[in-house]
Structure 1
């Protein structure tokens, strides 16, 4: 079932999303409402974006990581290598790609998050990326542990003398996000392989296949994004997983949205709504920005391209 569900996740001609089935039952009892970061303000102006690579490995699993981060210099333009990080401490978002994808397939979204004041760490998984010799869909179930390992390694950079990100990471404000098979990976980090460091999650057209819906640990707000015309992951399967989340949550539904092409490519009418909604969700959950929280419903409804189920 897992192989059938995510078989259509090739990033060509654009990133696709993976995983489709009815979500397992058995959600954890609801906990008290999650408290986002202490009330504060996210950066009001965008940053320039820097980019660098980390060569990591968990045992025999190579996990090269692309890091996008707020940088010095003028905002806009192409992310640059070798540029100094901007002043401040920035929350961390770890992002999981879809089957046969790579982090670079998602640069249009991830660089926007970095420009808004987040350090984004995106590993390339050894057996499900577009560079894998023989992609193995079942290896998705090993990826939550990969993400936790990558998160540990990235957070240590904050205290590493001489590292460009030393003193720049808000190590107590962390979220996970994922698309396609990466959505399954992300849900796994809040269920079977709960990483208690995570304060929030974003699931882009994911499902609970293989990782279940037994959410555990402290409440962590979740944002789901799903196209109602998704040809790989049925909208119903994503909604079923969403319904089982016992914590503060919201779901951005796109009536004309497919499996990702209309959502992750700039120029599509839905793209700006998806980017702005996910960015304001991160601003609220990781910076504690009340203005970002207030913007969410109106921003999600802008242009009539989406509906927003708001239970945050």
Structure 2
């Protein structure tokens, strides 16, 4: 796929992102604005009668204020210096003193799509951090919209970036003089990625020789397509919790041709949640403001239009744009799925773990008819 085409997608998203930031810089607090938006989406509670599972809303803000640190890390791979501009999102003590809260917290390393950025899913980072997760998102050295050189083939080096970041977080936690001392739960470190980022996460979690044994869970959202990787054999001994999410109206990754095969190859324990009408671009936060480019409500029309001259892109799925889910709804559903899944497995409070599990098992599909399980 050519750099110019991919860059154009990235610059569309960047333009929306910059515009959004300029509005928020006028005095609004980013976390407070997003939290208010999430809370307004809570379901009606008239029928709950105090049932904690019914009252459980995975999109709502947790008890922790969200702290944020910007870090630039550099490491060398085969003589090439790779720069990782990163943001660490973490549970903070309180709104005034946003230093890390007391406790030991699970870690999520988030990898973005191609070409996107570390800000593509702040709705996920902020939610997880408010519920007691440390999340690190970063700009891929050759896969970010900010990269001087964009090269999808760099995917074979990208797992080393995740490995390096995990080591940096462990060092932060080992530094007795720093405020992150003892904060990282080294037994609960996982990866989360969308599209190209999901393939990198897949490699890091499952596929030899890229595997980092420290990774203990994975969330893969529409991984691929990348020939020879998404259908590769998984490491048979990687029995870590996997959440796999895929939309049925995805024009880049075939639900039947890629996702079902990849999920089938994955070792247990694994969970698949499908989104009827879900697209490929709809998970990225800024696409909510790009619907003017959609055809029949399908945001992936941007991809089809820009990739129609690419020899390696299968245009079969672009013949018809069926009515599809809006990015706002799709992001709300991904947050419900991923937040409840991660909190039921790795939540820092036992009561939250129990309520998240009951929600994921009993309520998620019943209250969101667009979702299904394999």
Query: What TM-score does the superposition give when structure 2 sets the normalisation length?
Result: 0.67
Cα distance in 1 for partners of 2:88, 2:207 equals: 26
Cα distance in 2 for partners of 1:290, 1:126 equals: 39
Return the structure number with greater helix share. Answer: 2
**Does structure 1 residue 191 correspond to structure 2 residue 207?**
yes
Shift of 1:142: 1.1
- Tell me the SS of whatever aligns to 1:86: coil
Q: Deviations over 1:52-94 (max 9, x none)?
A: 02221121111122100011225xxxxx9x7211121110010
Taking structure 1 as reference, are residues 117 and 98 closer, same or farther at Cα in structure 2, changes over 3 Å only?
Answer: same
- Tell me the SS of whatever aligns to 1:304: coil
Shift of 1:301: 4.2
- Tell me the SS of whatever aligns to 1:253: strand
Cα distance in 1 for partners of 2:62, 2:270 equals: 27
**What is aligned with 1:221?**
241
**Does structure 1 residue 106 correspond to structure 2 residue 121?**
yes
Q: Which runs of 5+ in 2 are unaligned?
A: 15-60, 289-326
Equivalent of 2:370 in 297, 305, 311: 305
Cα distance in 1 for partners of 2:359, 2:124 equals: 19
Kept in 2: contact 1:200–1:285 (CA 8 A): no
Q: Return 272-281 or 173-182, whichever deviates more.
A: 272-281
Equivalent of 1:284 in 344, 348, 354: 344
Cα distance in 2 for partners of 1:247, 1:103 equals: 29
- Tell me the SS of whatever aligns to 2:158: helix
Q: Deviations over 1:23-72 (max 9, x none)?
A: xxxxxxxxxxxxxxxxxxxxx94311011022211211111221000112
How many residues matched?
Answer: 272
Taking structure 1 as reference, are residues 95 and 151 closer, same or farther at Cα in structure 2, changes over 3 Å only?
Answer: same
Q: Deviations over 1:66-125 (max 9, x none)?
A: 100011225xxxxx9x72111211100101111111111221221111111100011211
**What is aligned with 2:106?**
91
Q: Deviations over 1:197-251 (max 9, x none)?
A: 1111000110373432322434101111111111112222122111111211111
Cα distance in 2 for partners of 1:54, 1:63 equals: 8
**What is aligned with 1:233?**
253
**What is aligned with 2:358?**
294
Cα distance in 1 for partners of 2:218, 2:163 equals: 14
Q: Deviations over 1:259-288 (max 9, x none)?
A: 132574677223222112211211233247
Equivalent of 1:203 in 208, 213, 220: 220
Equivalent of 1:116 in 131, 150, 156: 131
- Tell me the SS of whatever aligns to 1:147: helix
Equivalent of 2:173 in 150, 153, 158: 158
RMSD: 2.6
Cα distance in 2 for partners of 1:203, 1:290 equals: 23
**What is aligned with 1:139?**
154
Moved over 3 A (4+): 7-15, 207-211, 262-267
Cα distance in 1 for partners of 2:225, 2:270 equals: 15
Cα distance in 2 for partners of 1:290, 1:179 equals: 27
Q: Which has the larger radius of gyration?
A: 2
- Tell me the SS of whatever aligns to 2:368: helix
Cα distance in 1 for partners of 2:367, 2:330 equals: 9
Q: Deviations over 1:131-184 (max 9, x none)?
A: 112310101121111101111111211111332211222121111111111010
